[in-house]
Every structure is written in structure tokens, then in C-alpha cells.
Structure 1
Amino acid sequence: MQKNRAQFYALYLTRFASGFGFITLAALLPTYLNVLDPQSGIVVGLFVSGLTAAQSVAVIPLAWSGDRYDKRTVLLFSLVVSIVAYASFPLVESSWGFIAARALQGVAITGTGLITLALVGELSTADTRANHIGKANAARFAASILGTISATALYERYGFDVVFGVIVALLIPALVGVLLFVERDDTRIEGFPFADMALNRKLLTLTSFRAQYAVAVTMVRTWIVVYAGVEAAKGGLAYAPIAVGVVLIAEKFTNMLCQPFTGRLSDDYGRALFVFVGGGIYGLVALVVPSAPAIGQALSLPAAFPVLGALSPAFLPLVGLNALLGIADSFREPASMALFADEGVDGAGVASSFGVRELVWRPGSILAPILAGILMTGPGIQWVFYVGGIASISGVLTFFGVLSYSYGSEALTQW
């Protein structure tokens, strides 16, 4: 029992270190744009899409390697790549150098995320799997909060070298922890399990929800921050960066607090039910986001706050709604991940199962920002949340329909 606990802690630390690196660099992306000053719009786009493209390319080979060989070795390789990637950023002197470093970061993030979750799922018993996955995700959200708060402050005071030194300093203990405490994985799956998992009936049922939910979450999670910070002429609330940070952290904080608890509940009462409820609530809350100003005025809420200064009556409702989005997603995420792990753990290929989960998310996460941009400059920014909310509700209704047709309506509480 003690040995197993040490393995989980090493994996949680890996999840934290990887998440801290990802969010810190995301927070510094505008700074890199200013420093490197790329003149081409295509190059600017590659600052973002270079990471996504590398992640997409890396999923299948890393998932295959995790199932075919020792997952611990693949995870150690991914951590070494992470250290090399983040150590290379202070040396970057051109836009193309930054894009190359981002691509290497994308491979590292994919490997650490995919294999860490596969090992957590494999080490867990069926009745504790969502709880352990929830704890791993909570570590990632804790890193996101800390990285969001510290990234800009560290850069402004010490520069890039110290920022990336801190990331490497977190990744090295994670590497040592995996090396010392995580046992070698003796599961060896011949052939190409990714193809089998892609056609798995249960995973196809989950995909009917996840493909649509990717659009919802990408639009809502990204644009609620845009809505808070963009100028009023573009439909936003024009809050200062510190206030936007509070709005952003609200969702991560509630998600972090709730996931271990909601994961445990989904272990006890049915994972599919929690996917359905979480996705449905997420969609309903998203539809309410554009009403934050009206809610604030109706309740006569304050328009100025200590430290934050003058904002508007919409501030508290927006923070509250984003916190509710975090709670809703905390119902969905560990339950969904556990369902993917359930299908792969029994010799079918748990890394490939998570690889399928990762790839299903990609189309929506790439297309949603484009759609959101069109909606924002066309009918208005409120339509980003309306379309995102509808996509989430449509996803859960499709999921329930496919689930009921294939397995019966009682599968909602039996899965």
C-alpha cells in the first residue's frame, strides 16, 4: 500500500511540474511576441499552432510506445525532453527558434500527460480510478493557478532565465521521483492497439459527447477571459489584467478543489451519469455568462474593489459563473477519464485509449477559436457563449441518445 502511494505521489508531482511549465509559458506568450516581434501573421500563428501541431503528431507514437513497451521508460523520456525544451527557451533569439522550442514542448507535454494518466489509471482499482485521476488533475490545476500568478512577476523581476530555471527545478524532482518510486510496467501489447481503441463501442459513445464538448470548453474557457479583458467597444468589460486573472483563477480553483471529491463520487454512483450532469450544467452556465452585467445591476453589486480598483457590477457574477463552470467540469473530467482508462486497463491498451481521447479533442479545439473569432466580430461576443453552451448541451443529449440506444437507458447509472 505504501509503495503504491509513493508511485501516485510521484505521478502527481509530474502532473504538477508539467502543468506549471505549460501555463507559465502560455502566460508569457504575449511577452515573447513583443520581444521577438515576428512580422509575418503566419509566424505569429505558429507561435500557438506549433505547439498544437506537435502535440497532435506525437499522440499516436507515444501512445503506441506506452502500450508496446515500459510506460515508466516512456515517461522518463518525456520528462528528459521537457527539461531540454524548457532549458532551451532562454537561448531562443529568433521567432523560428521559439517555434522549434514550442514544438519540442508539445512533444514533452503530450508524453507526460498521456503516460502519467495511463499509469494512474493502471495503478488504480476500478472503484478508485476516478478519484485518483481527480487528484492528478487537481495537481495540474494547482500548477495552473501558481503559474498564472507567478509567471509575469518572475519575468518582470528576474527575466526569462529564472522563469525557466524554476520550471526545470520542478521537473528534475519529478524525474527523480519517477525513477525512484514508479515501478516498471510489464504490460506489453502487440500490434497496433490504437486502431482497436478507436473503434471501441464504448469509446465511440464517449466520442459522441467529447467531440462537441471540445468546441464548448475551448470557446467558453478562452473567451470568458477575453470577455473580461477586451475593450467595451468590442463587447467586453475592459477589466485590468489583475482582475482578469481573478476571473481566470476562479474556474481553476473550484475545479482543483472539487475533482478528487467528484471523482470519488463517480466511482460510487456511475461515471456516465457524472459526464452527463457535468456537461449539461456546463452548457447551462455558459448560456448565462453574457447576463453577468444584468445580474450585477439587478443585485446592486459593488463596482469597485480593494486592490482591483474600479470595475463594474458584473465582476462578482462573472467570477461566480466561472467558478460554477469549474465545478461543472469537475463532475465531467475525472469520470470521463476513468471511462477511457476502464476500457484500456484490461489489456486493451490504456495509453492508446487516452491517445484516442486526446485526438478526439483536437478538431474542436482547433476550429472553436476560429468560430469564436467570427462570432465576436459578427453578431457579438455574447454569441460565443450561446454557441458554446448549445454545443455542450447538444453533446450531453447526443451522448445520452447513443448510450441509451446501444446499452439501454439504465447504462447512465451503470457505466
Structure 2
Amino acid sequence: MKTLFGVNPQVIALALARMSESVGNSFLIVVLPLFIASDFVGGTTFGLTEVALTGVVLALFGLVNSPLQPVTGRLSDRTGRRKVFVLLGLTILIAASLAYSFVTAYWQLIGLRTLQGIAGALIIPTTVALVNDLATETNRGGNMGTYNTFRLVGFGVGPIAAGGVIDSGPYSLTLAGRTLRLSGFDAAFYFAAFTATVAFALVAVLISDPEIDSAEEEEQSGGIAVLDPTGKHVLDPVFTLGVISFFMAAGIAVFATLGDIVNQRLDQGATMFGLQFAAFVLAQILLQAPIGRATDFYGRRRFIVVGMALLVPTTAAQGVIFNSWLMFGARFMQGVAGAMVFAPALALAGDIAGNRSSGTTLSVLTMAFGFGVAAGPLMSGFLVRFGFHVPFTIAATLAAVGTVLVATQVEEVRTPNSVAEASD
């Protein structure tokens, strides 16, 4: 199939679908903490503080979907089908987003967040595996980078818009002579359902399952290799890439739970917090695609090492900053680091997997990233009591450990295009 600037057209369609779905999903990252703090929801907090409960609710998405992702990935390998899993997951997301408008108790929030986690387990590993199946060895980095760019556009737009939607409510709509009143929260929840519906339509119409070898007859343990079976290194390279994905995601997500604390500390409003949250994503939007293409040309490992090293100071700095725009800058530079890690790591894992077991292999990284997204809010929710800088310092330390791991346990598995062209 012809490519557009080296990117498969179906990858672009899939990226647009994930972009739409991500707008609504990222809406909830900003909306749910504000919703929990509002008078619209109440009931028992299960003995937790409000900040800790917020961390639990945000973390549930990752805690639920992450352990299920290898199961979904392996099932999609064995059946040779990915699209049906994506559509089922989007259907659940639509229903859960609509149901938020009826929530009145904290336990209901927990139940809906659990359902969204199940939806994520159906969507995340299968869409990444689709990208890997549709790409080739020479353009995998560019395809992964482009896919992540579009997905992160949605993830970045959501938080910026969410604060404005909440602040501008309530809304009044007149239909057929009747006035319908919506709170800012209801409007946000309905919009999240709409964006997931758009994603469903794009996948249903524009995406087809590529022809891949079914892994049904292949003997697979279904487990995750921790030690390197070749004996060249201590840890398996895919497992190592999963570990650093976890460290990176945790470092990103510690910021999410601290909205009220950050706003008080920096004397700012919800809109500025949304901008700071989105700054990380903005950097990735600008850099994912060009870095992905660069890894095809120069190799993947060197970018991952530098990115992990850059995560250390950019994460630690967020714990000691007292200026809103300096916080924006630190988040942006953390995004630069993240752009050098995740898409190249996915592409390197894809190089190792090929297309036969890409769902199983890549789910190791997506699962680890999900666990990191879950761990970050938990770290900040429970550790901020010991000092605002504590969760950021711990996350920076994990990034330093990850730098050492990827430098010592991971190698290139393909010849970069620059070397191949030079030898022709």
C-alpha cells in the first residue's frame, strides 16, 4: 500500500480515531478531580482523604487495564484480528462516559472508572499492534511517532478545554420550546461520549485488519520474559523497555493528582493547570513524528538513553518550582524527554516482535505505561504529605535507574537506514 510521507494511510486513520477518543479521555483527568471536590458527588470516602481518593480514582484506569493488556494482545495475535477489540472497547467508553452524568456517590465513580479500564485494555494494545502490523521495518519509527503525535494532540487538547468547559457552566439549551440545563460537569461527560463515538465511526469505516499470521498454533507461554534468554544481558530487552516505560509514565503522572495543591502553591487557576498538564503533551506533539523518523535513520537506542537521562532533571525541577510559567517550561522539557523514549521504545520492541506476536510483545510496554500512569497519581496522592517535592524526587530517581538499565540491557536489533544506505 502507498504511504503518505512514509506513513501508512490506515495508520493515519487509526491515529485520528485515537486522537478523538483521547480528547474525551483526557477531559476526565482534569474533570474528575474537580468533580470529586464538588458538591455533585458524596458518600463514604473509604477512610481516604479527598486527595488520596482522587489518586485512586485516576489510578483505577491504569490499574484495571494494565494487567489485562497482555491477555487482549495475545488474543488478538491468536485470532489474527484487532479491529473487533477496538470497537468493543470504544462502545464501553461511550456508555461509561454518558453514565458519569448520573453519578452521585464515590463508589459509582470507582465502578465507572473500572469499566473504562476494561475498555482501555481492549483498545490500547490492539491499536499499537495494528500500527506495528501496518508499518515496515524501515519506517516503523515514523509510523509509531505519527500515531503517537495524533493521539497526543487529543490528549493535550482535552485538559486545556476541560477547565474552560467547567468554568463556563452551567449551560442552557432551548429545544422545541423547552429549556435544558446542563452543569459544566454534565457537558464535559457528554462531550467525552461524543468524541468516543467519532472514534468508533472512524475505526468502523476506515480500518481493516491486515493479513497477519495467526499465532493460534504456535506454542506460547503467554508470560513475560524477565531474564534475557540469550544470556547476553541480565534482563530481557522487551522487559527492560517495559520497565523504563513504567518509570517514564509514573514521572509524568505524579503531576495529575495535585491540581488543587499546585494551583494554591503557584496562585493560579484551573485553566493554567490545564496548560501545564498539556505542556508535556505539546512537546511530544511537536517531536514524536520527527524523532520517530530519525530513529529509523539513526537507530532507536541512543534516543531512548538520552531521553531517560533528560527525564531526571525535568521531573525533579517540578517539585521545587514556585512560578506558573517555569512549571510550564519544566513540563514542556519533560515532554521533550518523553518524546525521545516512548515511540522509539515501541518501535524497538516492534523490531524484536515482527508482526506475528506484536500484540503480545507490545502489550508489555503498553501495560507498563498503564501501570506507570496509575502509580504516578498514587505516589503523589499518598506521598505529598511528606513534602511537595517528595513524589517528584522519587520519580526522578526512578528515571535515573531507567537510564542505567536501557544503557546496559538494550541493543539495536536492526541496521539503521543511514548505515544500510552507506553500505549500498
Q: Does the pair score TM above 0.5?
A: yes
Alignment partners' CA distance in 2, 1:152 and 1:292: 22
**Pairs within 5 Å for 1:247-396:** 247-290=276-319, 292=321, 314-347=323-356, 349-361=357-369, 364-372=372-380, 375-378=383-386, 380-396=387-403
8 Å CA contact retained: 2:18, 2:150: yes
After TM superposition, give the deviation of residue 157 of structure 1 in Å: 3.6
Q: 1:189 aligns with which of 215, 239, 243?
A: 215
**Pairs within 5 Å for 1:119-268:** 119-155=130-166, 156-158=169-171, 159=183, 160-187=185-212, 188-190=214-216, 193=220, 195=222, 198=225, 201=228, 204-208=236-240, 210-211=242-243, 214-215=246-247, 217-219=249-251, 221-223=253-255, 226=258, 229-230=261-262, 236-268=265-297
1:77 aligns with 2:57: no
1:27 aligns with 2:30: yes
1:66 aligns with 2:71: no
8 Å CA contact retained: 1:214, 1:364: yes
Query: Amino acid of the residue matched to residue 29 of structure 1?
Result: L
Query: Amino acid of the residue matched to residue 354 of structure 1?
Result: L
8 Å CA contact retained: 1:225, 1:247: no
Q: CA-to-partner distance for each residue in 1:373-404, whole Å, 9 max, x for gaps?
A: 565333x3334333322221221112212237
Alignment partners' CA distance in 2, 1:98 and 1:56: 19
Alignment partners' CA distance in 2, 1:204 and 1:357: 13
Q: CA-to-partner distance for each residue in 1:255-291, whole Å, 9 max, x for gaps?
A: 1111011111111111111111111111133344455
Alignment partners' CA distance in 2, 1:381 and 1:167: 31
Q: Choose between structure 1 and 2 for higher RCO, CA contacts under 8 A separated by at least 6 residues.
A: 2
After TM superposition, give the deviation of residue 317 of structure 1 in Å: 2.7
Deviates more, 1:119-128 or 1:53-62: 53-62
Pick closer, same or farther for the CA change 1:36–1:229 going to 2, 3 Å.
closer
Alignment partners' CA distance in 2, 1:60 and 1:192: 16
Q: CA-to-partner distance for each residue in 1:33-54, whole Å, 9 max, x for gaps?
A: 2312132235846533443332
SS at structure 1 position matched to 2:83: helix
After TM superposition, give the deviation of residue 186 of structure 1 in Å: 3.5
SS at structure 1 position matched to 2:43: coil
Q: CA-to-partner distance for each residue in 1:155-188, whole Å, 9 max, x for gaps?
A: 4243344433333333333222222222234331
Q: Which residue of 2 aligns with 1:47?
A: 57
8 Å CA contact retained: 1:64, 1:352: yes
Alignment partners' CA distance in 2, 1:164 and 1:382: 32
After TM superposition, give the deviation of residue 73 of structure 1 in Å: 1.8
Pick closer, same or farther for the CA change 1:231–1:72 going to 2, 3 Å.
closer
After TM superposition, give the deviation of residue 206 of structure 1 in Å: 4.3
After TM superposition, give the deviation of residue 100 of structure 1 in Å: 2.2
8 Å CA contact retained: 1:193, 1:352: no
Query: Amino acid of the residue matched to residue 404 of structure 2?
Result: L
Deviates more, 1:367-376 or 1:16-25: 367-376
Pick closer, same or farther for the CA change 1:116–1:102 going to 2, 3 Å.
same
8 Å CA contact retained: 1:194, 1:352: no
Q: Which residue of 2 aligns with 1:299?
A: none
| Percent of residue pairs identical | 20
Which 4+ runs in 1 deviate beyond 6 A? none
Pick closer, same or farther for the CA change 1:244–1:285 going to 2, 3 Å.
same
8 Å CA contact retained: 2:144, 2:343: yes
Pick closer, same or farther for the CA change 1:388–1:163 going to 2, 3 Å.
closer
Q: Which residue of 2 aligns with 1:297?
A: none
Pick closer, same or farther for the CA change 1:228–1:86 going to 2, 3 Å.
closer
SS at structure 2 position matched to 1:41: coil
SS at structure 2 position matched to 1:36: coil
Query: Amino acid of the residue matched to residue 189 of structure 1?
Result: A
With normalisation by structure 2, the TM-score equals 0.79
Alignment partners' CA distance in 1, 2:382 and 2:189: 35
Alignment partners' CA distance in 1, 2:251 and 2:206: 39
Query: Amino acid of the residue matched to residue 400 of structure 1?
Result: A
Query: Amino acid of the residue matched to residue 247 of structure 1?
Result: Q
Q: CA-to-partner distance for each residue in 1:164-217, whole Å, 9 max, x for gaps?
A: 333333333322222222223433112574636545849822433542552454
The runs of 5 or more residues in structure 2 that have no matched partner are 172-182, 230-234, 420-424
8 Å CA contact retained: 1:276, 1:396: yes
Alignment partners' CA distance in 2, 1:180 and 1:227: 38
Pick closer, same or farther for the CA change 1:387–1:138 going to 2, 3 Å.
same
Q: Whose helix proportion is higher, 1 or 2?
A: 1
The runs of 5 or more residues in structure 1 that have no matched partner are 294-313
Pick closer, same or farther for the CA change 1:290–1:76 going to 2, 3 Å.
closer
Q: Which residue of 2 aligns with 1:308?
A: none
After TM superposition, give the deviation of residue 326 of structure 1 in Å: 0.8
With normalisation by structure 1, the TM-score equals 0.81
Query: Amino acid of the residue matched to residue 53 of structure 1?
Result: L
Q: Which residue of 2 aligns with 1:307?
A: none
Pick closer, same or farther for the CA change 1:74–1:369 going to 2, 3 Å.
closer
8 Å CA contact retained: 2:23, 2:155: yes
Pick closer, same or farther for the CA change 1:251–1:53 going to 2, 3 Å.
closer
